[in-house]
Every structure is written in C-alpha cells, then in structure tokens.
Structure 1
Amino acid sequence: MLEEIGFDKLSLEGVAARAGVGKATIYRWWPNKSALAMEALLRAVEPMPAIGDSGSAREDIGLHMLQLSQLLRGKSGRVVREMIALAQFDEESKRIFNDNYLEPRRLALVNVLRRGAQRSEFRDDADLNLVFDLLYAPLLQRLLTGSADIDERQIQSQLKLVLGSIALSQPFLATSKISSQQA
C-alpha cells in the first residue's frame, strides 16, 4: 500500500480498512504511520550480505563493502533512503531503523574488525564503532544526496584510508582478489 499511494497519503485508517481490521488493532502494533511505514520498508529491503571469513578481515570487509555498494545502487538504495527519511520523523521510527537495519550491520562489521585485531591485522585499541561509521557514512551520504555514484574506485579509496589507519603492518592495498569476487 505504501508503494501504491506513497507516505504522504498513507493513513493508519486506510491500512486498517485494507486489512479488514479496526483502527485499534493497527494502533496496538504501531503508534503512528511513520513506524508502520518503517516496518514495511524493512520488509522490502534486501538482506545484508553475509560477511565471510576468508582468513583476511581486510578482504572480507572489502568484499562486503563492494556488495553493499551494489545493493545500494538498486532497489535497496531507494528503500534505505526512504527509511532514513522516515527515521527523522519520530523517536520510534528512529529506534526501529537503528535496531533493525543499522545495528545488525554494525555488529557484523565490528565482529570482523575484532577478528582482524585478533589476527594482528588491525590495532586492538581502535574504536571499532567509529571505524564502522567511517566505512558506512560515505556510502549513506552519497546515497542520500545523489552527489556521486558508489563505485568500486570510491570503495577502494575509502578502504585504504579507513583500514589503513588501523592496520598494524603494511598499509591496506586494494587487491585483485576483492575485484575478482565482486562479479
């Protein structure tokens, strides 16, 4: 229904009528239309790509970021833009977005970063939540503003800058392994 009529015309009364239930039933589950729309959008977004364990956290993060950029260039990008916009309306929508979209991605990437620290790829004193923010924020900013395409070159530069800042030994270098796994 959200896709048919858009957020502006969506009403909880209309949803109740379409579902054949009373308004009270809808209000029991969702406090407002933003929260209802956020839940609907979460169902529409493609699942997060799994982050494998190749033995190199750098490679795993690089592949994940490339897969994420591909998803954001498609339908999922539009859905994520809508979710971020809805999260600005009220605290409940923001909580739903953070708990169900952003936090699972944060936990998965932080676990890979931790794995890299345990394998002496990364410093163990790095603020891993900040590293997540530094990796995801440029993609989301480009998605929201449409200021530039999210392409492999940009991802590689970002990885070099961010992961290079926490690398223990050699600087992060873009590898052909990441590029070959993208296809």
Structure 2
Amino acid sequence: MPGGPAAPRPPVAGGAAGPPATSGPAAAAPPAPSGAAAPGRPPGRPRDATADGAIIEAVLRLLEEGATIGELSMERIAREAGVGKATLYRRWRGKEALMLDVMRSLDEGHPEPAGESVRDDLVTLLEFIRRRALAKRHSALLRAVVAHVRAHPGLWKEYHDTVIQRRRELLLAVLRRGMAAGEIRATEDLDLLADLFVGPMLTRAMMHEWRDLPDGLSERIVDTVLDGVRSRN
C-alpha cells in the first residue's frame, strides 16, 4: 500500500475505500521497518518519513506493473523510489524485511477488544477477519501482494509470527477471560476453541471465495459457537 502518480490503493481491512497511510506527501509514516539499522549508522540520526513512504510506494507500484518479488532487487527499488541504495539498507536489512513492511502497509492495525463483553470482543475479532477478506477480494493489488509473500516461506513465516500470531493471542486472551468469568466451559481446549470461532470465517474467506461474507456473519458465528461451549449450570 512518490515518484509520479500512484495507482489507487486498495481499501483497508476495515472496509473503507481510500489510500493507505503511505499515500501522498502529507500522509502519516508507514509502519516502523522490521529490519535493524545497518551497522555503523550514526546514532540519533533522524528518519526521513518521506523516503520511507516513497520506497514502499515504489515497491507497490512495481508489483502493480507485474513485477514479482523475485524480480525486485534493492537496486531496482531504490531507483524506482528515487533514493540511494544505502538509504534502503539503513532502514531494512534486506528485501524480505522490506517486503514485510510493504505487506503491513496494506493492513490495518489489529483491533483491541474493549474487554467488557466476551461475546462482543469475539465479534470484534471475527469482524476484522471478515472485513480483511472483503478488502482482499476487492483489491487486485492486495491479492497480488499476499500471493507474492505466501510464495516465500521465510517471509510468510515472519509475517505469521509477528502479525497473525499477535491476533491469535488476542483471541486466546478473550477466551481465557470467558473461562475465568464462567461464560465458557473451562474444560475446553483453548486452541481448539479458537479454531472453532475463526475456522468458519477463514474457510469462507480463503477456501470458498465465492461464498458471501454478509453483514452479521461474525455475530452469527460467535453466537452459534458460544451456544455450544457455554457453561451449563
């Protein structure tokens, strides 16, 4: 999600259309790069958010034009962004670290459950998955970036470990709270419970992409599963 007019960015996972944070000169800075700074970088040297945005925009533009991750070199990216190669390496240790931030630039931050209602928090987390799936279906760019990243196991694993796993931990925390409050049977396997809640949404979103993802689906899934795992007094 800078060097000439950029193609329109896809809708964010929240479903609203519009450019991501990296679009435009007045936009907010992209997520902090995951790669460590190169050895020898002067301490305290300020980051140039404009360069960060130009680099990520350059990668997205090249992918839109049909380039694959394998075809993108750091030299080519720097040239497209109008920066020196050293500028890239001061921000990212290599292409995989840069691609991880490109992937993150097309994603919105994970939702934070309110912590008041286990049922409502579960709906919030599933609704994020539903809206993310809708954004992917409606965005050729987002589909392309996801496909490129998944084709590189090391890159996909890092994205999973740093982004997807964080979202799962949020879900597990909500389920633990439900067990502690007596709303969910404490005898249930926590990981299995998590799969029961997210499984139906992921199946429809990823394996059956022709199936609808209508409003209210998150509530229906949560209420159906909760009815089966609720404590019986």
- Structure 1 length-normalised TM: 0.71
* Deviation readout 1:31-85 (Å, 9 max, x if unpaired): x55x53232111331111111112x312221233234423442369857755653
Unaligned runs of 5+ in 1: 171-183
Greater Rg by CA: 2
Aligned residue identity for 2:226: L
Query: Equivalent of 1:157, from 220, 226, 229?
Result: 220
Corresponding residue SS for 1:165: helix
* Deviation readout 1:92-137 (Å, 9 max, x if unpaired): 2122221222111001111010000000000112222232233333
Are the counterparts in 2 of residues 122 and 167 from structure 1 also a CA contact under 8 Å?
yes
Are the counterparts in 2 of residues 45 and 80 from structure 1 also a CA contact under 8 Å?
no
Deviation at 1:167, TM superposition (A): 1.3
Q: Does 1:102 align with 2:164?
A: yes
Distance 2:142 2:192 in 1: 21
Shift in CA distance, 87/126, structure 1 to aligned 2, threshold 3 Å: farther
Aligned residues: 167
Query: Which deviates more, 94-103 or 128-137?
Result: 128-137
Distance 1:88 1:77 in 2: 19
Shift in CA distance, 53/76, structure 1 to aligned 2, threshold 3 Å: farther
Identity, % of aligned positions: 22
Unaligned runs of 5+ in 2: 1-57
Q: Does 1:147 align with 2:204?
A: no
Query: Equivalent of 2:230, from 164, 167, 176?
Result: 167
Are the counterparts in 2 of residues 49 and 68 from structure 1 also a CA contact under 8 Å?
no
Are the counterparts in 1 of residues 184 and 231 from structure 2 also a CA contact under 8 Å?
yes
Alignment-derived partner of residue 177 in structure 1: none
Deviation at 1:4, TM superposition (A): 0.9
Alignment-derived partner of residue 114 in structure 1: 176
Shift in CA distance, 24/84, structure 1 to aligned 2, threshold 3 Å: closer
Q: Does 1:64 align with 2:125?
A: yes
Distance 2:147 2:99 in 1: 11
Q: Does 1:3 align with 2:60?
A: yes
Query: Which deviates more, 40-49 or 1-10?
Result: 1-10
Q: Does 1:73 align with 2:134?
A: yes
Alignment-derived partner of residue 130 in structure 1: 192
Q: Does 1:25 align with 2:115?
A: no
Q: Does 1:93 align with 2:150?
A: no
Aligned residue identity for 2:61: E
Shift in CA distance, 12/102, structure 1 to aligned 2, threshold 3 Å: same
Distance 2:146 2:162 in 1: 12
State the superposition RMSD in angstroms. 3.3
